[in-house]
Amino acid sequence: MITERVRLTCTLILLGAGWGLTQPLIKITVSAGYQPFGLIFWQMLIGTVVLGALRWRTLGRLPVHGKTIGVWLMIASIGTLIPSATSYKAAFHLPAGVMSIVIATIPMMAFPIALALGNDRFSLRRLAGLSIGLIGVGFIALPDSSLPDRGMIAFLPLALIAPFCYAIEGNVVAKWGTAGLDPVQVLFGASAIGTIIALPLALGSGHFFVPRPPFILANLAFLLSSAIHVLVYTGYVWLIGRAGAVFAGQISYLVTGTGVLWAMLLLGESYSLWIWIALLCMGFGLMLVQPRHANAEISNAENATAGL
Instruction: List the chain domain ranges.
Output: 2-301
Confidence (pLDDT) at 197: 96
pLDDT 10s digit of each residue in the chain, 308 long?
557 778 888 888 899 999 899 999 999 999 998 999 999 999 999 989 988 887 777 777 889 999 999 999 999 999 889 999 999 999 999 999 999 998 888 888 888 999 999 888 888 888 898 889 889 989 998 887 788 888 899 999 999 999 999 899 989 988 898 898 888 888 899 999 999 999 999 999 999 998 877 778 899 999 999 889 888 877 887 887 787 766 776 777 788 889 999 999 999 999 999 999 999 998 888 788 765 444 444 444 333 333 33
| φ, ψ for residue 146, nearest 5 deg | -70, -40
The closest alpha carbon to 89, from 173, 180, 156, belongs to 156
CA angle 23, 29, 33 (to 5 degrees): 135
pLDDT of residue 215: 78
What CA–CA distance (Å, rounded) separates 66 from 308? 18
Rounded CA gap, 225 and 18, in Å?
9
Residue pair 233/194 in contact (Cβ under 8 Å)? The answer is no
- Predicted pLDDT of residue 126: 83
CA distance 79 to 93: 22
pTM summary value: 0.83
Residue-level pLDDT at 308: 38
Distance, CA of 51 to CA of 183 (rounded, Å): 10
Please report which helix (H) or strand (E) contains residue 169, including its range: helix 156-176
Distances (CA, A) of 31 to 37, 90, 172, 204, 210: 15, 11, 34, 22, 17
For the chain, the C-alpha Rg in angstroms (whole number) is 19
Question: Dihedral of CA 217/212/21/140: which sign?
Answer: positive
Instruction: Write the DSSP string, 47-103.
Output: HHHHHHHHTGGGGGG---SHHHHHHHHHHHIIIIIHHHHHHHHHHHHS-HHHHHHHH
